[in-house]
A and B are shown apart, each in its own frame.
Chain A
Amino acid sequence: MENNDNDHRYHHEGGNPPKHDEVEQPCIDHKIIDAYWKANLRLLAVLLSIWALVSFGCSVLFVDTLNQITFFGFPLGFWFAQQGSIICFVLLIFVYSHLMGKMEDRFNVDDDEVA
């Protein structure tokens, strides 16, 4: 990496500057990065649950139940397996991309400075 991490100063969002000895520790405690990362993991957990629900859930495990319902001429479970899950996957990625953009602005870790 081009930056020397020891030259960085990481601050709490609340404004408490880190104690000097924390900076001296060999493994730097990256408070902002950790908070951002936790928020990211929460978002991932939600989106990946939806990912698993539409594919493994609606398209495989609950397929027989959902097939009792007709949806635009399709048995619903079959529709999820052959069209619906794919449409949900596309939406999931765009939603993730959008929410991450907002989250990165909030934590000020965005990459907008790159042309």
Chain B
Amino acid sequence: MDAQTLSYLFVGLSFALYIGIAIWARAGSTNEFYVAGGGVSPVLNGMATAADWMSAASFISMAGIIAFSGYDGSVYLMGWTGGFVLLALLLAPYLRKFGQFTVPDFIGERYYTRTARLVAVVCLIFISFTYIAGQMRGVGIVFSRFLEVDINTGVIIGMGIVFFYAVMGGMKGITYTQVAQYCVLMFAYFVPAVFISILITDNPIPQLGLGSTVNDGSGMSVLEKLDSTLLELGFSAYTQGQRATVDVLAITMALMVGTAGLPHVIVRFFTVPKVSDARKSAGYALLFIALLYTTAPSVAAFARINFIDTIHDTSYSEVPAWFKTWENVGLYAWSDKNNDGNIQYGPGAPFEGLPEFAEERGELGERIITNQLTANNNEVYIDRDTIVLANPEIAQLPNWVIALVAAGAVAAALSTAAGLLLVISTAVSHDLMKKTLMPGITDKQELTYARMAATVAILIAGYFGINPPGFVAQVVAFAFGLAAASLFPAIFMGIFFKWMNREGAIAGMVTGFLVAFGYIVFFKFIAPELNTSEYWFLGISPEGIGAIGMLVNFAVAAGVARFTSPTPCEVRNMIDDIRIPASRDITVD
């Protein structure tokens, strides 16, 4: 069977599986809708958390970013896993003991005010929608490329599936679907990696393959070969960083703290039966995530080697079919600068901006570019997001592997989208309606509001998917920067500093949010031409500003708390209560 038919089959089968699980795990109460009844085992919750966490960005984009930035891509690997250490050690067990439904719940109760709850709700909704827009674009890319349906149809199908299991099943439905989605996406990521690792190094374990010797007889290791090939082409070495050290530190910190502060990840730890399970579950979650995250650098390095081998100095008329397919989608482009009919690959952008294609084709059948060409020798434009998806074709793997990757990418995007939709709908129905605007509503009415909010959120997310804002790539910095600068410090101080009071927490969240928001908006939207290291504050890029926002949040909160009234005693006693796992009378006799 051809790759497209198999893709239909695999994606269709996985959808049937998700729907089946949704019907089996319907939610009957708000408790089941918000936290799956609080009875999910730590291993299953770990798996669900891993699927929830690993989005289209992890599955599709991350290896592509590493492939083209080498060592500098490590910030994503460390940032997106190191955050789970903070989550497991500093937040998850205490929030589980607190035992409510949402992150704003905790902030509202701990800081004894609705204002703090509302500030948290605003931060949460902003972070979650930012994130969801990226997922929907991922679904769109996969559908348009592998199933060759229109992107809009792809997004609508994706929305329909998520609607079905998120609105019906709530957290309970999502949890069990995410377990299935984890298995699908991990298998889909690992299988091609194993194949490619064997092809390049004869070592079937991709993690070890990255350190092995290339089987082309050169005697060089994968990284040595990559370094020497890239240096020959005029790039810098793969294993050497280009970013300033201070910026690498800031970005890593912002991503770690941001990860720990992302509401859709935190709420997953409200679903396990007890406090010790929250810690174990975080360990399993990171273990399951680490399987993919340690595979990604191997996928990245192999892809870069294969890509250069296949493309560089190859005549366009002999280039493999996948190159032309991606060119037709508009994500690859080639402009024959030296008119030799061959593709030359090198450092720098081949032309200004994103490719714009003319109607007619060149004499070799290539799409003609209308952009202003640059002076360097590089002739190829490659969208980094295509690397993982194109990888099986680049390595000439069987069609079923290509289809598997398509199903895995859709699983990664849908599982994260569903988790995000749930926290948005919970924030609206629980924190806004039940706890703020209409405290009198019954459990059943609250559940109806939750389902209505999920429906509206899906429609908005779908709108972003069909009309992707041009700034999707830029706004990813927002989600992490804002989570790091606003939510994480408020939760952390709420658990570890009894003296942190209402006034301090609100002032800290608002200033932290504004610092990160202002900095990102300034460099990404108002003055993008100034977005270079000489204009950055202390040499820190907008991606890393969350680290500064976090420090500002801590400093402002501590300063304000010093000069305002102390935390009431019932709140101090509540903190003592969440610090210990036991819910019984503590006596030692």
Contacts and interface: CB of A to CB of B under 8 A. Distances in A.
Contacts of A69: none
A63 B241 contact: yes
Contacts of B582: 104, 108-111, 113
B441 interface: no
B354 interface: no
Given A11-B589, A109-B582, A73 B211 contact: yes
A111 B569 contact: no
Interface stretch (B79-87, B131-139, B166-174, B309-317): B79-87
Nearest to B246: A60
A86 B294 contact: yes
Interface in B132-163: none
A81 B77 contact: yes
A111 B42 CA distance: 15
B588 A72 contact: no
A97 B297 contact: no
A95 to B, nearest CB: 9
B577 A1 contact: yes
Nearest to B253: A56
Interface in A100-115: 100-101, 104, 107-111, 113-115
Given A1-B577, A73-B213, A82-B77, A51 B82 contact: yes
A42 interface: no
Given A75-B239, A111-B274, A44 B90 contact: yes
Given A1-B574, A26-B569, A30-B576, A90 B287 contact: yes
Given A26-B569, A89-B81, A111-B275, A78 B583 contact: no
A71 B223 CA distance: 12
Contacts of A83: 207, 210, 294, 297
A55 to B, nearest CB: 5
A93 B588 contact: no
Nearest to A1: B577
Contacts of B85: 47-48, 51, 89, 92-93
B212 interface: yes
B88 A67 contact: no
Contacts of A71: 211
B293 A86 contact: yes
Interface residues of A, number: 62
Nearest to B97: A111
B223 A93 contact: no
Task: Name which of B88, B222, B252, B582 has the most chain A CB atoms within 10 A of its CB.
Answer: B582
Given A30-B576, A60-B249, A8 B586 contact: yes
A86 B239 contact: no
Contacts of B589: 11
Contacts of A85: 77-78, 81-82
Contacts of A82: 66, 71, 74, 77, 210, 294, 297
B245 A60 contact: yes
Contacts of A8: 585-587
Given A74-B211, A89-B290, A90-B286, A108 B588 contact: yes
B347 to A, nearest CB: 20
Contact of B587 (A9, A87, A110, A115): A9
B290 A59 contact: no
Contact of B581 (A3, A5, A110): A110
Contact of A33 (B88, B274, B579): B579
Contacts of B585: 3, 7-9
Interface string B294-332: 100100000000000000000000000000000000000
B573 A36 contact: no
Nearest to B293: A86
Contacts of A26: 569
A5 to B, nearest CB: 5
B337 interface: no
Contacts of A110: 276, 581-582
Interface in B220-242: 221-223, 239, 241
Contact of A97 (B78, B274, B283): B283
A23 interface: no
B530 interface: no
Contacts of A47: 85, 89
A44 B154 CA distance: 46
Contacts of A74: 210-211, 223
Contacts of A93: 84-85, 88-89, 279, 282-283, 286
A2 B282 CA distance: 27
Contact of B588 (A13, A67, A87, A96): A13
Contacts of A109: 580-582, 586
Contacts of A73: 210-213, 221-223
B438 interface: no
B526 interface: no
Interface string B370-388: 0000000000000000000
B65 to A, nearest CB: 12
Contacts of A9: 585, 587
B434 interface: no
Interface string B230-273: 00000000010100010011001100100000000000000001
Given A8-B586, A27-B572, A97-B280, A61 B223 contact: no
B74 A59 contact: yes
Interface string B360-400: 00000000000000000000000000000000000000000
B290 A81 contact: no
9 contacts: A28-B569, A32-B588, A33-B580, A60-B245, A72-B208, A73-B212, A82-B66, A85-B78, A110-B276
Give the top 6 A-B pairs by smallest Cβ distance, nearest first: A73-B211, A81-B74, A111-B581, A93-B283, A82-B297, A97-B279
Interface of A: 1-3, 5, 7-13, 26-28, 30, 32-33, 36-37, 40, 44, 47-48, 51, 55-56, 59-61, 63, 67, 71-75, 78-79, 81-83, 85-87, 89-90, 92-94, 96-97, 100-101, 104, 107-111, 113-115
